[in-house]
Structure 1
């Protein structure tokens, strides 16, 4: 694909459910690479249909990652631009309302026949060339799939679909946290914490967390931090950002076991 199109094609590393393909080069090289990718997906769909009972052929679907500051131009006034792209190419185009996790980019999902998709991307590229992104873009980096965790009856379970699957490793950690407070969180090698005595009923521990990671610990409208508070039974306070500092202070208060568990959950996030 690189040789035939003349475009630079990179695929992000990692064992994530999603990986990002970045295509760079002059517009015609991008379209060439893009058509080759779309046709490859079409081949895959055809191959998977030969031994399946499905009669209607699913469309080729791709998610583009677009800086949020360019999405307004793509949608157009009152949705006029996106409507025009849909009508002239015959492809389905949807711009996500929310930004992708920990980034300033949004997903634009396009689906249809390879031809419709290629025409659609041409038009999207034209819009993006006409209105460059404003401000700095924080790129979306897919994270490895992490299933939600539930602690019940001294056991840890991960949620997969509608089922709770017992998770032996997390159960062990959970039990360790209860027996040997406080256990060392990931990334710290000093055994125990100075000044923290396991016999005191409540104590508090401070962590510093980089500003760019604080969002994934707080979660949407505080959903994640509340989950961590509930699961660990500890009180967790996040200090407001101080000017010029790249970190936020987090204070965890509770029994040593609660603190250990809260720290473990924060590290896991």
Structure 2
């Protein structure tokens, strides 16, 4: 498959949906395609695996899908990446894998299509495309109803980390809103969730947009927490 990110993700999910419908027709029951294999150049597998397997473990934890990479067979330059789980879990895993591939120079050089993935897409834009795909392609009435419903959720973000969500002059919150398509409102100073020192972050929109916004916020807060912990450790060492 080649094309823009949204085109590739759309095509991939259409293929999975087609295979799912064929399995259902042949079996006569609501069977779901539980395993998919994709081919990835051997030279790019390192970026998916990460140091000590850290990246692939994070993908498995994030997507809830099983992800296994085959050993390199003699004489071949590609390896098989096997994804297992629900269609939703497999699509999430594919989006995460594509994120790493767009950052990999070796992969960009091996993809000879003029419409290959743009290197500067980044995680937020890629997951936005993935969320858009979920909203546009029907995988059943139940999922469509969930994706089309307008909801509002409130989460808590510690007061010490709210700055990384807001950004300078609201730049981060504007970026998150634009990337996810959700509306985001943060409570004023002292506007804490009951019994906590967490500020209220109210997110409104389609369920897919809300999920994406929450994911981006959680990543920003997690990154800030790890940086602060590292800085404190360095200070103790000094």
Q: TM-score range by the shorter chain?
A: 0.3 to 0.5
Greater Cα radius of gyration, structure 1 or 2:
1
Q: TM-score, normalised by structure 1?
A: 0.38
Q: Which has the higher strand share?
A: 1
Q: Which has the higher helix share?
A: 2
Choose between structure 1 and 2 for higher RCO, CA contacts under 8 A separated by at least 6 residues: 2
